[in-house]
Chain A
């Protein structure tokens, strides 16, 4: 039975994971050390794996025969529902790690809550992904602590990263009218209810890193969920080019 509201919700979860996973994969062969190169690829593969599961679920509830490749490779940027935070270019290593922390510190408790969803398909995906996201929090937090409390150069870059990314975090906590219906039904967790949990993690890391929260201001209002993207088209042009040049190719 087709359920557009649930399909759209599954797509938004899959899009966040896929877009951030692809951004991380862009570090492959470019990370500061060989060890971190592999670590970033591991994080990317976690996220791409989550995206595949959410896309498969979306295809099932949408009921029109679309598979995961359709959603990843054959949609235009306006059809993607990811938040803007995850599509921002990687910037330097500090930007990448701060972004990963801001995202994972939200998604980890969000998946813990989603694992209690009344929808079995969603709760299964979340129960698997929650362990992955716990490690994303740990890995990014340890780096942010060392970068913030490191050299003058690493500290300067980490402060700049928090200031650049902070305006994008509110979109993590926004739910549209359709998602509120799912929240009421016990299918989706309430994003706003996780803000205190998220702030506790971020403040603990900031404290250990000898940093302060950036001043709020210039907040970016939600746009990604409604298909208004800034950097996504450029990213998808590369990501989708192979699949579009060779439709149906397998390897």
Chain B
């Protein structure tokens, strides 16, 4: 039988009430690592951590175990402004017909080598 809005079931006082106090959500952080000097930091994933210091440690422990990094950035996930997936047609679709924006129409002399 569905509960009405005004009569939420009572939760037991303990231990669940105690657990709820300690189980508030831990903030999420986006992790960027630089593999070598001179390369840009690249997004590699995210970690949960209570604050910036702990987020750096968690990022170090989770994402640099195999010597992948010389530098780590962590950024609060909620500080990232993301484009709306519903806007992808107007944001990205128009570029698909503008092949002249790709630098493929130039003859590169052999002496230049790989670009």
- Residue positions of A touching B, CB distance < 8 A: 33-36, 38-39, 42, 138-139, 142-143, 146, 151, 153-154
Cα–Cα distance between A154 and B62 once the two chains are bound (Å): 24
Instruction: Please report which residues of chain B, range 23-52, place their CB below 8 angstroms from some CB of chain A when the two chains form the complex.
Output: 26, 47-51
Cα–Cα distance between A35 and B46 once the two chains are bound (Å): 10
Are B53 and A151 in contact, CB atoms less than 8 angstroms apart?
no
Q: Tell me the count of chain B residues lying within 8 A, CB to CB, of chain A.
A: 16
> Could you list 20 examples of A-B contacts with CB < 8 Å?
A33-B26, A33-B48, A34-B62, A35-B61, A35-B62, A36-B58, A38-B62, A39-B57, A39-B61, A39-B62, A138-B57, A139-B57, A139-B61, A142-B54, A146-B51, A146-B54, A151-B21, A153-B18, A153-B21, A154-B22
Are B61 and A38 in contact, CB atoms less than 8 angstroms apart?
yes
The total of Cβ contacts below 8 Å across the A-B interface reads: 36
Cα–Cα distance between A153 and B62 once the two chains are bound (Å): 27
Binding site secondary structure of chain A: helix
Cα–Cα distance between A190 and B51 once the two chains are bound (Å): 38
Cα–Cα distance between A142 and B22 once the two chains are bound (Å): 18
Are B65 and A38 in contact, CB atoms less than 8 angstroms apart?
yes
Least CB distance, A92 to chain B, in whole angstroms? 12
Are A142 and B57 in contact, CB atoms less than 8 angstroms apart?
yes
- Residue positions of B touching A, CB distance < 8 A: 18, 21-22, 26, 47-51, 53-54, 57-58, 61-62, 65
Q: Which residues of B are found within 8 Å of A138, using beta-carbon distances?
A: 57
Are B48 and A153 in contact, CB atoms less than 8 angstroms apart?
no
**Closest A-chain residue to B56, C-beta based?**
A142
Cα–Cα distance between A146 and B26 once the two chains are bound (Å): 13
Are B50 and A35 in contact, CB atoms less than 8 angstroms apart?
no
Least CB distance, A58 to chain B, in whole angstroms? 28
Least CB distance, A94 to chain B, in whole angstroms? 12
Instruction: Name, among B48, B61, B65, the residue most crowded by chain A CB atoms within 10 Å (CB to CB).
Output: B61
Q: Which residues of B are found within 8 Å of A39, using beta-carbon distances?
A: 57-58, 61-62
**Closest A-chain residue to B64, C-beta based?**
A42
Are B61 and A42 in contact, CB atoms less than 8 angstroms apart?
yes
Cα–Cα distance between A35 and B26 once the two chains are bound (Å): 12
Please judge, given known A-B contacts A35-B47, A35-B49, whether A153 and B22 are in contact too, CB under 8 Å: yes
Cα–Cα distance between A138 and B53 once the two chains are bound (Å): 10
Least CB distance, B31 to chain A, in whole angstroms? 10
Q: Which residues of B are found within 8 Å of A139, using beta-carbon distances?
A: 57, 61
Cα–Cα distance between A143 and B53 once the two chains are bound (Å): 10
**Closest A-chain residue to B24, C-beta based?**
A151
